[in-house]
């Protein structure tokens, strides 16, 4: 047929290293309880909706002009938020933003990774790290967590440093709290990797930082003393703003400057800059659900433990759990009960986002019903 030959033609023309790949993406299914992409279940508060609409109204007539290329107002709002949230002194020159943290991660790889260079991460971790690296031409090295023992997801400073020394990476990805396992990294892992990979930019992906348990130290505290360290964050999770597409990073001003070489001009639209800035100005309201979500997360961990479903300790808004005879069968059985969770490709495990109390109840009740036959 015509479309079959068009498909063959596209495969012929495509970069050889992209042939046969499938696109990243969790199923976007219309089910009652969606707990598969670690979003925040709560809608944007009405007061913030009103403030955003008012600010946007002022923007629309000037959409004939390109946006502020250097997003000065948004950058100031991000800086103020980071300082308030982390207590770490940060200046606007240290802050960079993009359409989601995926975009700022791609800027880092474009500038510091790419063809002929090695990017190293520690699997299982966020699956976009290898996809961004490889689609931008870097060679991905799948480092190991838990020394490769099935069901062990810890990463020690020694193991991380040894792998960093062995592979001579140009970019190292650390993820804390780690997706999909949920646990924050021991702080020494970050310092050990910085030391063991002297020619690398070390990225600490802190997408879930605001959900961390007390006592977790952010890599932001190391940025001032480490010009090779980049800490990425996002408004998609705790901030309940995934649809706004705003991610950011904190690094040395010189690193931020280098990212200007690879970003497309005017990459943050005027509406994006406005809605994110106004949301940040209402940070306290926007983050009002974090404690509720953390309580649901802890509830999931406790209940799954009593069921024998081996939950992994979580500093994020999701829980990885194991002990499943067949994770694909459990995924389908949960879906049949209207609950969508994530199969992250780890045998005998699934990942569930902590939603609101009703969603959490729906998930836990389904798990209780399934436990006798699925665990």
Contact footprint for ligand PMP (CB under 6 A): 38, 100-102, 126, 175, 179, 205, 207, 234, 236, 242, 247
> In 118-212, which ranges are continuous DSSP H helix?
128-135, 157-167, 187-196
Q: Which of 118, 127, 220, 122 is nearest to 171 (CA)?
A: 118
- Choice between 354 and 375, CB closer to ligand PMP: 354
Least distance from C-beta 31 to ligand PMP, angstroms? 19
Least distance from C-beta 34 to ligand PMP, angstroms? 14
- 79: tokens are 């800086």
Give buried/exposed letters for 11-36 (b at 16+ CB in 10 A, else e).
Answer: eeeeeeeeeeeeeeeeeeeeeebbbb
- Choice between 159 and 209, CB closer to ligand PMP: 209
- Choice between 103 and 359, CB closer to ligand PMP: 103
Least distance from C-beta 247 to ligand PMP, angstroms? 4
Q: How many CB atoms lie within 10 A of CB 179?
A: 24
Least distance from C-beta 102 to ligand PMP, angstroms? 4
Least distance from C-beta 318 to ligand PMP, angstroms? 9
- Choice between 157 and 175, CB closer to ligand PMP: 175
Q: How many CB atoms lie within 10 A of CB 89?
A: 12
Contact 256, 96 (CB under 8 A): yes
Burial class for 336, CB neighbours closer than 10 Å (0-12, 13-18, 19+): exposed
- Choice between 207 and 220, CB closer to ligand PMP: 207
Q: Which of 96, 97, 101, 140 is nearest to 122 (CA)?
A: 140
What angle do the packed helices 327-336 and 357-374 form, to 10 degrees?
130
Using CB atoms, what's the residue nearest to ligand PMP?
Answer: 100
- Choice between 206 and 303, CB closer to ligand PMP: 206
Least distance from C-beta 104 to ligand PMP, angstroms? 8
């Amino acid at each position: 047929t015509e479309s079959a030959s068009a498909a063959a033609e596209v495969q012929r023309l495509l970069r050889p290293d992209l042939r046969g790949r499938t696109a990243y993406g969790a199923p976007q299914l219309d089910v009652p309880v969606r707990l598969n992409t670690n979003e925040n279940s709560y809608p944007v508060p009405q007061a913030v909706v009103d403030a955003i609409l008012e600010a946007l109204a002022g923007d629309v007539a000037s959409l004939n002009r390109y946006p502020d290329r250097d997003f000065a107002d948004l950058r100031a709002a991000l800086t103020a938020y980071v300082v308030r949230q982390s207590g770490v002194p940060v200046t606007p020159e240290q802050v960079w933003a993009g359409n989601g943290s995926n975009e700022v991660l791609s800027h880092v790889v474009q500038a510091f990774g790419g063809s002929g260079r090695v990017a190293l991460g520690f699997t299982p971790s966020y699956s976009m790290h290898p996809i961004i690296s490889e689609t931008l031409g870097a060679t991905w090295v799948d480092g190991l967590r838990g020394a490769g023992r099935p069901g062990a997801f810890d990463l020690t400073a020694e193991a991380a440093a040894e792998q960093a020394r062995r592979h001579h990476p140009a970019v190292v990805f650390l993820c804390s709290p780690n997706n999909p396992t949920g646990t924050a990294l021991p702080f020494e892992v970050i310092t050990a990797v910085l030391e063991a990979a002297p020619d690398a930019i070390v990225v600490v992906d802190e997408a879930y930082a605001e959900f961390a348990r007390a006592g977790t130290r952010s890599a932001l505290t190391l940025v001032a003393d480490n010009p090779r360290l980049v800490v990425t964050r996002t408004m998609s999770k705790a901030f309940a703003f995934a649809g706004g597409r705003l991610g950011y990073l904190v690094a040395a001003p010189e690193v931020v400057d280098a990212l200007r070489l690879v970003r497309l001009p005017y990459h943050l639209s005027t509406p994006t800059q406005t809605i994110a800035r106004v949301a940040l100005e209402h940070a306290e309201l926007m983050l009002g659900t974090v404690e509720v979500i953390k309580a649901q997360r802890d509830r999931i961990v406790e209940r799954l433990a009593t069921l024998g479903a081996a939950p992994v300790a979580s500093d994020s808004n999701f829980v990885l759990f194991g002990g499943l005879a067949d994770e694909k069968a459990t995924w389908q059985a949960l879906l049949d009960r209207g609950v969508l969770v994530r199969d992250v490709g780890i045998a005998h495990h699934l990942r569930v986002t902590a939603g609101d109390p009703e969603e959490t109840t729906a998930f836990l009740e389904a798990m209780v019903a399934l436990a006798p036959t699925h665990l």
